[in-house]
Structure 1
Amino acid sequence: MVKVREDQPLTPAGEVDIALWLKRLQDDVVLRDTEEMRQACELARHLAYNAEKPHHNWAEPASSFRTGLEMADILGELKLDQSILEAAVLYRVVREGLITLEAIEKRFGAEVASLIDGVLHMAAISQLQAPRQGLSQHNQQENLRKMLVAMVDDVRVALIKIAERTCALRMVRDAPRDKRLRVAREVFDIYAPLAHRLGIGQLKWELEDLSFRYLQESDYKAIAKQLAEKRLDRDRYIHDVVETIKGLLDQQGIKQYDVDGRAKHIYSIWRKMQRKHIDFSQVYDVRAVRILVPEVADCYTALGIVHSSWHHVPHEFDDYIANPKRNGYQSLHTAVIGPENKVLEIQIRTFSMHEEAELGVCAHWRYKGHDVDSKSRSYEEKIAWLRQVLEWQEEVGELGDLREGLSSDVAPDRIYVFTPDGHVIDMPKIATPIDFAYRVHTEVGHLCRGAKVDGRIVPLTYQLETGQQVEILTATKGGPSRDWLNPNLGFVKTSRARAKIQAWFKYQARSQNIEEGRTLFEKAFRRLDIEGVDFDALAQAVNYQTVDDMYAAIGGGDLRIGQVLHQAQQLFGDTDDQEQLDRLLAKPGRSSKAAVDDITVLGVGNLKTSMANCCHPVPGDQIVGYITQGRGVTIHRQDCPNILQLRAEEPRRIVDVEWGNASAQYPVDIEIEAWDRSGLLRDVTHILTSDRINVLSVNTLTDKHDNLARMKITLEVDGLEALERIFSRIQQLPNVIDVKRLRSGGGKTA
C-alpha cells in the first residue's frame, strides 16, 4: 500500500517541513506563487494543530493537515494547477468547520473557495450510499443535483474528491472494521468507476485494489500470496523478455522507446478469474510487458516484431488504438507464447497514449488562461458524460435512476456494436436491443417492435455482445410497451432507455394512465388471489394521496407493481384473519408457518422489539439493542450517536442483537393454463430453476379435446413480490393463456 504521509519530509522536531515539501512538489508541477502555496500550508497546519476536537484512535492528531498535503501530493502527480493544490490542502480544515469559505475566498481567491465548495457538495454521494434520518428523497435529489452541477462546471472538483477518498482508503487500515467496509464500499461503487470514466488509470487501479482488500479480504490475500511466492521467478523472466524486446527494437531502427514489466493488479486478476472461470495459473497477463514508442506507426511496427518473434495466442488481441475505449484509453493488447513456452501479455502504446492512460482528463485539462491541442476531444467527451447524467435527472427526476447512472453507466465493462451503416455504438455490457434503439435515437426506441442481430431476428430481451451488427425493426406509429418497464422481464437494462420510456408515458393523458394502471393493478391482485385490501391505505403506504394517483403512477411507469405488493405485504401482514394472512404471505413471526422473528435478541430470549426513530436501521445494517423501561428492546444502528452516548452512560442496558432469518419460505399453490405444446413443462421449470424457486409438487393434466393443458404446482416463495415476478415471466412463455394463484386446499380463485 502506498503511504504518502510517511514520505512527507519532517523537521528534527517531527513536524512536516513545509519548505522541503514544497520543493519536492515542484518536481511535478510549476507553482505560479510559491509564497501563497506556503501560506495555505501554514494556515492548514495552524488550524489543525489548534483545533480542540477529539480524534479517533486510528487517526493521528492534526490528520486534517497531513491529509491535505497527501491530497496535494496525489494531485501534483497528476500535473494539476496551483488553485486545485491549495484547495486540496485547505479542504479538510473547511470541512471540519475550522475556517469558513468566506475567509478562504478573502485570503486565497474565489477560484479556490469555489473548488472547496464543490467538493463539499459531493458529500451527497455518501448520503446516497447510506441515507441518514432526516434526509428526504427530495433533499437527496437536490444534493445530488448540486454535486453533478459542481462536477460539470469544473471537473477539478471531482479530482479533489477522488484524491480525498484515496487518502481515506489508505488511512482506514487501522480503523474499526465497519468503518473500513463503509469507506471501501463507497470508493468501489462510486469513485473507482468515476476515476476510470475520467481515464485516471494511475488512481483507478489503487482504488480498486485497496477496496477489494477490505471487501474480499480472503480472496485478496490468496492472490497476493500466490503473486509473492512466484515474484522472483517472474521478475527474472520479465527482465530477460525486456532485454530481448529492446534488442529487437534496436534491430528495426526504433531508437526512442521504453520497455518495462507491468505489474498486474490484484483486483484485475480476481475479476478475470471470475469472468472466465479460471484459476490463478491460467491468468496470462500476470507476466506482462509494456512497450512505449514515439508514433502510432511505431506501435504497429513493434506489434509486428512481437508477433514474428513469438506465436500469437488466438482471441487475445485488442486494438484500442483504432477503436479507443470510451474513456479515451488507447493501446494495443496482445498475448503470445513467449520464452520457456509461457504465455506473456504485451501492451504497446505511444508515450502520449501512456500519459493519457495514467492521467486521463488531467492530461487535457482546460481552464482559463491555458490551451490544449484542439485535436484532443478527450476532455469534452468526459464532461459530456457528466452532462448526460444531469440531463437524465432533468427528464425523469428519479433518484434511483441517477444512482444507477453513476454505478452502471460508468462501469469499465462496455460492449461495442455496429449500426447497419457501420457506425460504432458503445454501451454497458448488459444492454439489450431496446437499450440500443434508445441509444441511437429516442424515436427509434419508441417505435421499436423487433431486432435483428447479424441478420438474425432475436428477442428484445437478447443481451448484445461486442462486434455484433444490430438492426432495429420499427413500426410507423405507436409507442413503447409498459412491459418494458417491468424489471422482471429484462427488456430494458440501462437507465437512459428507462428514463426515455418513463418520460413518454408521463406525457400521455392522465386518464389513460389511470386506466392502464388500474388494469395492471387488478390483474396482479386477481391472479395472486388477494382480497379485502384497503386501497386508500395502500395508496398512502406507497406515498400517493389517492388511489387514482397510485393507478396513474403505475400506468406512467413511476411505480412498479412489485413495490405495491411489497407494501401490501408489509401493511396488511398484521391482520388477525388467518385466511387473509396466508394469502398475503405475512411477515415472519406472525404466521404459524414462520417460526422466526425479524429480530433475534441474543441471550435473553424473545423480547418485544422496535426500530429506533433516530437512525431507522434496516436489514443489513450493523445493529445493537437498548433495553427500555416497559417498551422492550429498541434497535439502533451501531453508529447511531444516541446509542454511542447510551453505551457510555448505561452500558448494562446495551445488548447484542442480530437480524433474524429474512428469507422464510411459504408454500403457494398456482395454476397455469396454456395451449399444450412440446417443451411447455420444461420451459416453466426452467424459469423456476433460474429463480431458485423450490418446487414441492407438480400435477399436469391435458384435455385432448380442446388441447388445453392445466398445470398445478406447489412452490415456495418468500413474498408476494417474488410470486408476481414468477407470474410475469411465466406469462411471457409461448402458448400460456393465464397463470394464477389457487386458494389453500386446491380450490380455484373466485
Structure 2
Amino acid sequence: MLRQYELVERVKEYDPDADEAMLNRAYVYTVQKHGTQTRASGDPYFSHPVEVAGLMTDLKLDQETIATALLHDTVEDTLATIDDIEANFGPDVARLVDGVTKLSKIEQMPENERAAENLRKFLLAMSEDIRVLLVKLGDRLHNMRTLHFIKNPEKRQRIARETMDIYAPLAERVGMYEYMREMQLLAFEQLEPEAYRLIMDRLQALRAQDGGQVDAIALKIKQALAEAGLKVEVSGREKHPYSIWRKMAERHVSFEQVTDIMAFRVVTEDEADCYRALGVLHTTWQFLPGRFKDYISTPKTNGYRSLHTSLMYENSMRVEVQIRTRAMHRLNEFGLAAHWAYKQGERPDGQVGWLRDLIEIVDASHDAEELLEHTRMAIYQDRIFAFTPKGALFQLPKGATPVDFAFAVHTALGAATVGARINGRHVPLRTPLANGDVVEIIKGAEAEPQLAWLGFVVTGKARAAIRRAVRLRERAEVADMGKKLFADISARVPARIGKKAIGLAVERLGLEEEEDLYYAIGAHQIEDRAVMEALVPGCTEGIPDAPGWGQTSVSIRGLTPGVGYTLATCCHPIPGDRIVGTRRSGERIEVHAIDCHELASGLDSDWIDLSWGPRAAGAVGRLRVTLYDRPGTLAEMAGICAQNLTNVKVLAQIQQDHPFTTYELELEVQDLAHLTRVLSALRASDAVAQAERI
C-alpha cells in the first residue's frame, strides 16, 4: 500500500502545482473514517481507496480525481456525508464522489434492479464528468485484483459477470485497453475456471517450446524495417488468454487450431512512417486478404488509432501486426485518461459522443431489464463503418440495419424512417449493412417507429427508442378509447360536466392530468362508479349496483328460493343464452351456457334445467377482436362499444402478429341481442379483421 508521502510525491512529479495540503487531508480523512474496517483479505479497508488513488496517479490525473479516489467509499461505507465532503474538499470533489458512490438503498434492491439502478446513476454522473468513470474503473480493477479473497463463490461469480458485462466493455469504449484486458482476464478466471487453466497451461507449454521464437520474429520485423530506413520499436507477445478462448468458442476450434496466437507491435516516429512500415511488411511477407484494418484514417469511436494487418510468416505461421506512433500507443492503452489535460482542464468531449446515446437509452428504457439489455448492446464493440450521402461517418455494430443507422444519425430521423437506399439501391429496412456502405434514409411525414423493427435492429439506442414510441402510441390509443368511455360515464351523473369538474375529479383520484384519467378508464384501472363519485361527490349514494357500475343483477327460473348461484366464468352466459345449472355437494349452483365446453368435457355434478327470469338484464359478454395494426384502430373499437352503449370492463392484448393485434374484451351488456349488435358493428368496421364471441 502506498504511504501518504509516496502518493503525494507521485502527483507532484507530473503536477508540481497540485494542492499538497488537500491531498494530505483526503488521505488522512479516508484512513480516519474507515478506521478499523477490514476487507475480505484481512487488510485495512482504507488500503483499497489508497490503491485506487495510486492507479489514478499512474494515469497522471488531476488532484480532484486523486482526492475522489481516496474518498469514493466514505459516503457509502462510513458516517461521512456528501455535505461533509463538500465542506472539507470543495464542490468539485463532492460532485465526483457523489457520482461514484452507490446509494445505500440500491443495495437492498433485487439483483437486476440494483445493477440497473447503479448503471443508470453511474451513466448520468459519467455524462457530466468523465472522471467519474475513470475512478470507477480503477475501483473495479482493484476489486477484481482482490476478488479471490471473497469466500462466497456465488458472490465472486456475480461480481465477475458484472465486470465482464459492463465494466470491461466500458473500459474498451473509453480506450483503456490495459484495464479492459486485466478485468477480462480476472473475470474469465472466475467464470470459466477450467477453460482459464487449460489456456494458461497451453500458453506456458508454448513458451517452453518457443525457444525464443517471439523475440526472433520481432527482430526479423525490425531488421526488415531498418533496411528500409525506418527507426522503430518492435515487441511481441501472446494474444490475451480471454481473447484466445473467445476465438475458440466463436470458431468452434481447439487451441491448436488458433493460428494467430502471437501478435507484434511496431511503434514508429510519426504517422507517415506507419504507412511506410505497412508497405515494407506487405512486400516482405504475404499479406492475408480481409485482415487489414486502418484505424488511423478512420479511428474507433473511443479514439483508438492503429494499423492492423496479418502476415503469413515462415513455415505458414500467421502473425498479427499492429503499427502505431508513440502518441497513438499511449492513447490506445489508456484512452480518455491519456487525453485528460490536468493543467488546462480540457475535457475530451469529442471522444465520448457515444455517451449521449447511453443517456438517451437511460431516458427511454422502461424497466431494469430493458436498461441492462440496451446498455450492453450500446457498449459492446464489434463495429462496421457506414456513411451518409454527404460523407459523414458512423460506426455501428456488425449486423446493423438502415433503421439502426437512422437512429444513430438522430432519433428523430429514425422515428421518421419509411425506406432506405444502400449505395443508391432501394433495400428492405432489415438489410444488414456492410463496411463502407453509403446509406440514404427515406423519411415520411406521418411515419412512426414500428413494433416489427424490434425483430431486426441490433443497437441499444434503436431498440430503446422504438419501444418507447410504441408504448406512447399504445397509451394514446388506450386514452382515446377511455375518452369515449368517459363520455358515457359522465352522461350518467346528475350534473353537466365541464372542465372544472374534470380537473377536480383528476385531483380527487390522485392523478396528474386529464389524459391520465382517460388512460385509467381505457385500461380499466378505475371503476365507473369511482369516476362518477369523483365528478360529483355523493351522486352514487343510495343507488344500487346496476349494469354499467361494475356488477349485474339477474333473475333465473328453476332455482329454489334462497339458493345461491354464480355465473360461470368459463362461458360467461348472458340473458338470451340457453342455460343449465350444475350442482356439487356443499357448493353454490354454477350457471353455464348450454354449449359450454366445460359441460361437454363431463362435469362430475348434477345438472339443473334453468331459464332466464323476467328481470334478467345485464351480464358480462366476452369477445375476441383482431384489429389491423395501424394508428387509431383501438380507438375506433372503443368508439363502436360506446356507440352501442356497452361498457368495456376488461381489455387485454393477447397476441401481436404484424399486421394484426388481437385483444380480448369483457363487456357489460343487457342480453344476447345487445352483445350480437356490438359484434355485428365491430365486424362491419374497416379497423376490425375478425371478431367473435368467446
> CA-to-partner distance for each residue in 1:330-375, whole Å, 9 max, x for gaps?
10011111134311110000111111111111122256x5155xxx
Distance 1:274 1:509, change over 3 A: closer
Is 1:494 the equivalent of 2:448? no
Contact 1:418 1:470 in 2 (8 A): yes
Is 1:459 the equivalent of 2:428? yes
| Unpaired stretches in structure 2, ≥5 consecutive residues | 484-517, 526-567, 572-651, 662-688
Which of 345, 351, 355 lines up with 2:330 in the alignment?
Answer: 355
Alpha-carbon distance, 1:106 to partner:
3.4
Q: Which residue of 2 aligns with 1:682?
A: none
Is 1:60 the equivalent of 2:42? yes
What is the rounded CA distance, in whole Å, between the counterparts of 1:81 and 1:478 in structure 2? 51
Distance 1:168 1:192, change over 3 A: same
Distance 1:514 1:305, change over 3 A: same
Q: TM-score by structure 2 length?
A: 0.65
Alpha-carbon distance, 1:286 to partner:
1.5
Which of 191, 197, 217 lines up with 1:221 in the alignment?
Answer: 197
Contact 1:446 1:479 in 2 (8 A): yes
Contact 2:386 2:438 in 1 (8 A): yes
Contact 2:430 2:457 in 1 (8 A): yes
> CA-to-partner distance for each residue in 1:256-302, whole Å, 9 max, x for gaps?
x3211134212222222233333323434321110111211000111
Aligned amino acid, residue 62 of structure 2: D
Q: 2:353 aligns to what SS in structure 1?
A: helix
Q: 2:523 aligns to what SS in structure 1?
A: helix
Q: Which residue of 2 aligns with 1:169?
A: 144
Is 1:285 the equivalent of 2:285? no
Contact 1:197 1:382 in 2 (8 A): no
Aligned counterparts, 1:517-528, within 5 A:
none
Distance 1:438 1:517, change over 3 A: farther
Name which one, 1 or 2, has greater alpha-carbon Rg.
Answer: 2
Distance 1:404 1:127, change over 3 A: farther
What is the rounded CA distance, in whole Å, between the counterparts of 1:346 and 1:306 in structure 2? 9
What is the rounded CA distance, in whole Å, between the counterparts of 1:401 and 1:207 in structure 2? 25
Which of 216, 221, 233 lines up with 1:258 in the alignment?
Answer: 233
What is the rounded CA distance, in whole Å, between the counterparts of 1:483 and 1:507 in structure 2? 12
What is the rounded CA distance, in whole Å, between the counterparts of 1:724 and 1:115 in structure 2? 47
Q: Which residue of 1 aligns with 2:522?
A: 548
Contact 2:452 2:658 in 1 (8 A): no
Aligned counterparts, 1:145-156, within 5 A:
146-156=121-131
Distance 1:65 1:235, change over 3 A: farther
> CA-to-partner distance for each residue in 1:33-57, whole Å, 9 max, x for gaps?
4454344333433443x43x5x56x
Which of 27, 34, 40 lines up with 2:26 in the alignment?
Answer: 40
Which of 100, 108, 111 lines up with 2:89 in the alignment?
Answer: 108
Q: Which residue of 1 aligns with 2:344?
A: 370
Contact 1:168 1:183 in 2 (8 A): no
Alpha-carbon distance, 1:247 to partner:
2.1
Q: Which residue of 2 aligns with 1:605?
A: none
Q: Which residue of 2 aligns with 1:484?
A: 452
> CA-to-partner distance for each residue in 1:14-49, whole Å, 9 max, x for gaps?
xx644455556666765724454344333433443x
Q: Which residue of 1 aligns with 2:70?
A: 89
Alpha-carbon distance, 1:311 to partner:
0.9
Alpha-carbon distance, 1:239 to partner:
0.4
Q: Which residue of 1 aligns with 2:684?
A: none
Is 1:437 the equivalent of 2:371? no
Which of 77, 80, 88 lines up with 2:58 in the alignment?
Answer: 77
Q: Which residue of 2 aligns with 1:556?
A: none
What is the rounded CA distance, in whole Å, between the counterparts of 2:411 and 2:162 in structure 1? 33
> CA-to-partner distance for each residue in 1:468-511, whole Å, 9 max, x for gaps?
34344444x431354336x4xx1433332344445555776966
Q: Which residue of 2 aligns with 1:528?
A: none
Identical aligned residues as a percent? 34
What is the rounded CA distance, in whole Å, between the counterparts of 1:351 and 1:516 in structure 2? 65
Q: 2:212 aligns to what SS in structure 1?
A: helix
Contact 1:453 1:468 in 2 (8 A): yes
Q: 1:278 aligns to what SS in structure 2?
A: coil
Aligned amino acid, residue 198 of structure 2: A
Aligned counterparts, 1:699-714, within 5 A:
none
Q: Which residue of 1 aligns with 2:387?
A: 418
> CA-to-partner distance for each residue in 1:115-145, whole Å, 9 max, x for gaps?
212211588997888157xx8x9xx76x765
Is 1:120 the equivalent of 2:95? no
Q: Which residue of 1 aligns with 2:296?
A: 321
Contact 1:125 1:144 in 2 (8 A): no
Aligned amino acid, residue 113 of structure 1: A
Distance 1:97 1:469, change over 3 A: same
Aligned amino acid, residue 480 of structure 1: E
What is the rounded CA distance, in whole Å, between the counterparts of 2:6 and 2:408 in structure 1? 52
Report the RMSD for the aligned CA atoms in angstroms: 4.3
Contact 2:301 2:354 in 1 (8 A): no
Alpha-carbon distance, 1:411 to partner:
0.9
Contact 1:124 1:144 in 2 (8 A): no
Is 1:202 the equivalent of 2:167? no
Q: 1:348 aligns to what SS in structure 2?
A: strand
Contact 2:304 2:331 in 1 (8 A): yes
What is the rounded CA distance, in whole Å, between the counterparts of 1:357 and 1:517 in structure 2? 57
Contact 1:209 1:266 in 2 (8 A): yes
Q: 1:222 aligns to what SS in structure 2?
A: helix
Q: Which residue of 1 aligns with 2:646?
A: none
Contact 2:366 2:468 in 1 (8 A): no
Q: 2:235 aligns to what SS in structure 1?
A: strand
Q: 2:230 aligns to what SS in structure 1?
A: coil
Alpha-carbon distance, 1:248 to partner:
2.6
Contact 1:234 1:287 in 2 (8 A): no
Alpha-carbon distance, 1:170 to partner:
1.4
Aligned amino acid, residue 246 of structure 1: K
Contact 2:375 2:460 in 1 (8 A): no
What is the rounded CA distance, in whole Å, between the counterparts of 1:264 and 1:187 in structure 2? 20
What is the rounded CA distance, in whole Å, between the counterparts of 1:174 and 1:462 in structure 2? 49
Aligned amino acid, residue 219 of structure 1: A
Distance 1:513 1:457, change over 3 A: farther
Q: Which residue of 1 aligns with 2:213?
A: 237
Aligned amino acid, residue 496 of structure 1: K
What is the rounded CA distance, in whole Å, between the counterparts of 1:47 and 1:154 in structure 2? 26
Q: Which residue of 2 aligns with 1:530?
A: none
What is the rounded CA distance, in whole Å, between the counterparts of 2:309 and 2:431 in structure 1? 30
Contact 2:10 2:57 in 1 (8 A): no
Alpha-carbon distance, 1:453 to partner:
3.9
Distance 1:550 1:394, change over 3 A: farther
What is the rounded CA distance, in whole Å, between the counterparts of 1:272 and 1:241 in structure 2? 23
Which of 269, 276, 279 lines up with 1:294 in the alignment?
Answer: 269
Distance 1:72 1:131, change over 3 A: same
Q: Which residue of 1 aligns with 2:249?
A: 274
Q: 1:167 aligns to what SS in structure 2?
A: helix
What is the rounded CA distance, in whole Å, between the counterparts of 2:693 and 2:211 in structure 1? 71
Q: 2:378 aligns to what SS in structure 1?
A: coil
Which of 140, 146, 160 lines up with 1:184 in the alignment?
Answer: 160
What is the rounded CA distance, in whole Å, between the counterparts of 1:302 and 1:88 in structure 2? 41
What is the rounded CA distance, in whole Å, between the counterparts of 1:177 and 1:148 in structure 2? 28
Distance 1:164 1:514, change over 3 A: same
> CA-to-partner distance for each residue in 1:66-117, whole Å, 9 max, x for gaps?
1112101211111211221122122234431153444433333333232212
Q: 2:323 aligns to what SS in structure 1?
A: strand
